[in-house]
Amino acid sequence: MLRKSIVSLAVTSSLVFGMTAAYAAANPSDHAFDNKIVKRIKVDNIYKTIELLSKEPRVAGTPAEDKAVEYIAKQFKSFGYNTEIQPFEMFQYTSPTTVELSVDGFVDTDFAPDSFTYGANGDVTGELVYIGLGGPDDVDGLDLSGKVALVKRGSYTFAEKILNAAGAGAEAVILFNNTSGGINGTLGEPSDGYVPAVAIGRDLGEQLADRLAAGEGLTAHVKIAGAKVERQTSHNVIATKKPNPNKDTGQIVIVGAHHDSVEGGPGANDDASGTATVLELARVLSNMPIDTELRFITFGAEENGLVGSYAYAESLTEDEIDRIVAQFQMDMVGSRDAGELIMYTVDGEKNIVTDLGAAAGARLSGVVNYGQEGRSDHVPFAELGIPSALFIHAPVEPWYHTPEDTIDKISKDKLQQVAEIVGAAVYQIARPDTPALKNARVAPKPVDYEFEERELE
């Protein structure tokens, strides 16, 4: 959903081009400004914070997350930031202990059924009916009361298919794949409208559909037990520094990371590395003169589906959305075993964030590559029309989301490089003597700058 008005989009895009023209041009004095940031960054601070945070997994909604949140908030406050802990609700889903499927006449077949995240429990036996893709038209006028619906993957979300079938009376759903392999699916959020649902492979699903089409009557038995949905509270930590009111462009820059980790994973790289770098950049920038509001944010429940960053995005006013000119997301920025630094945007296009990152990279340590990827907290900002990018090393390390994502795999060189590039890029916008951004905002110019073509990954 793009909520920016046409006018503000025009302003923003001219900002992007104006900035690029200003910053891509080699300006030797920029390097002197970079040095103000670079010489203040203490990579040992970052390393020590990662060490502290990664002593245990920081699963959203658990006491370990609360501990991390308190530590982060305390640090921000000690640097003099106005610090807010923003609570939000989330759901913790426990997978079922029993997932069973049998169909009369298929006694020897192991369907190896999968469940869906947020799926419902239940024990249902009923006549099997094929309803194609399970769209609204497929169930229109059907009475599936007491029946089990067989549905093919595609065109609609899993949740839509299940709700459509249930709406027509079906008591359970069997969803089969439209390509090879299994379905590791999520319904996105809990709903009282779901009926128990299992996922099976394409070949077995097609066999069932063919036999029904040939007029055979089949009875299916679906059982799911032990699944649980718990409501929990996670938190974002938001540190704000306002510019001197006499020199305020009215613009806001956000620097973010997520402080939560997956279950069983200490998340040294994912994403204590980004969180610790956010804290260090907050420290470094705390005493710098700025004409742009800075918000350093660590998000909770990223691993549960970007829940914290969506909650933060929801909490923004239209005025704030219009004033946020850039969001830098650092996620997995310190692995010794990962590849090069890449800036990922949701649409794969360059924007003001990647332009500033590329220019800072070129001045400081060489080329930074581009790519297209969601999968982190830059997504909700991109969806609001805010220029954003994910800074990450790729290909990612083998320890990603494992118990081995520990401090011994963290490289100080990698941390230093990212802290310098993001720090210099943020300061480039925020320092009071960069007129391009301000001028462009006041008097937007038509787009007349040609980007040099760079390869997308």
Find where tokens 């024990």 sit. 123
Q: Which stretch binds Zn ion (CB under 5 A): 35-43, 145-153, 166-174, 267-275?
A: 267-275
CB of 392 to ligand BES, least distance (A): 6
Q: CB-wise, 114 or 405, nearer to Zn ion?
A: 405
CB of 331 to Zn ion, least distance (A): 4
Among 50, 306, 316, 430, binds ligand BES (CB under 6 A): 306
- Give just the sign of the alpha carbon dihedral 223, 226, 227, 230: positive
Region of residue 321 (left: phi > 0; alpha: psi -120 to 50; beta: else): alpha
307, 377 contact by CB (below 8 A): no
Residue 270 binds to ligand BES (criterion: CB under 6 A): yes
Residue 373 binds to ligand BES (criterion: CB under 6 A): yes
**Dihedral, 49, 50, 55, 56 alpha carbons, nearest 10:** 110
CB of 384 to ligand BES, least distance (A): 17
Q: Which stretch binds Zn ion (CB under 5 A): 148-156, 187-195, 196-204, 264-272?
A: 264-272
352, 378 contact by CB (below 8 A): no
DSSP notation for 438-452? HHHHHS-----PPPP
Rounded Cα–Cα distance for residues 418 and 361 (Å):
9
Rounded Cα–Cα distance for residues 274 and 377 (Å):
12
Residue 285 binds to ligand BES (criterion: CB under 6 A): no
128, 208 contact by CB (below 8 A): yes
255, 431 contact by CB (below 8 A): no
Residue 331 binds to ligand BES (criterion: CB under 6 A): yes
Q: CB-wise, 270 or 420, nearer to Zn ion?
A: 270
Residue with nearest beta carbon to ligand BES: 375
Among 34, 260, 271, 377, binds Zn ion (CB under 5 A): 271
Print the SS3 string covering 413-431: HHHHHHHHHHHHHHHHHHC
Helix and strand element counts for the chain (H, E): 14, 14
Nearest Cα to Cα of residue 328 among 285, 377, 266: 377
Residue 302 binds to ligand BES (criterion: CB under 6 A): yes
CB of 272 to Zn ion, least distance (A): 10
Q: Which stretch binds ligand BES (CB under 6 A): 77-85, 107-115, 171-179, 297-305?
A: 297-305
Q: Which stretch binds Zn ion (CB under 5 A): 5-13, 117-125, 212-220, 329-337?
A: 329-337
Q: CB-wise, 131 or 257, nearer to Zn ion?
A: 257
82-94 and 228-241 strand pairing: antiparallel
Q: In what order do the strands lie in the sheet with 172-176?
A: 98-103, 219-225, 122-130, 148-152, 172-176, 197-200
Q: Which stretch binds Zn ion (CB under 5 A): 106-114, 207-215, 331-339, 432-440?
A: 331-339
Amino acid at 442: V
Find where tokens 């995240």 sit. 117
Rounded Cα–Cα distance for residues 184 and 198 (Å):
11
Q: CB-wise, 271 or 355, nearer to Zn ion?
A: 271
Residue 280 binds to ligand BES (criterion: CB under 6 A): no
Residue 376 binds to ligand BES (criterion: CB under 6 A): yes
Q: In what order do the strands lie in the sheet with 369-372?
A: 82-94, 228-241, 293-299, 252-258, 324-330, 388-394, 340-345, 369-372
Among 222, 332, 425, 437, binds ligand BES (CB under 6 A): 332
Amino acid at 225: A
CB of 271 to Zn ion, least distance (A): 4
Q: Based on the number of CB atoms within 10 Å of its own CB, is 142 exposed (0-12), middle (13-18) or buried (19 or more)?
A: middle
Q: How many residues bind ligand BES (CB under 6 A)?
A: 13
Residue 373 binds to Zn ion (criterion: CB under 5 A): no
For residue 415, the partner it binds in ligand BES, Zn ion, none, with Cβ less than 5 to 8 A by kind, is none
Among 331, 373, 405, 420, binds Zn ion (CB under 5 A): 331
Residue 270 binds to Zn ion (criterion: CB under 5 A): yes
Residue 392 binds to ligand BES (criterion: CB under 6 A): yes
Q: CB-wise, 77 or 375, nearer to ligand BES?
A: 375
Residue 389 binds to ligand BES (criterion: CB under 6 A): no
For residue 373, the partner it binds in ligand BES, Zn ion, none, with Cβ less than 5 to 8 A by kind, is ligand BES
- Residue 456 DSSP SS3: strand
Q: Which stretch binds ligand BES (CB under 6 A): 4-12, 26-34, 301-309, 358-366?
A: 301-309
Residue 187 binds to ligand BES (criterion: CB under 6 A): no
| Contact footprint for ligand BES (CB under 6 A) | 270-271, 302-303, 305-306, 331-332, 373, 375-376, 392, 396
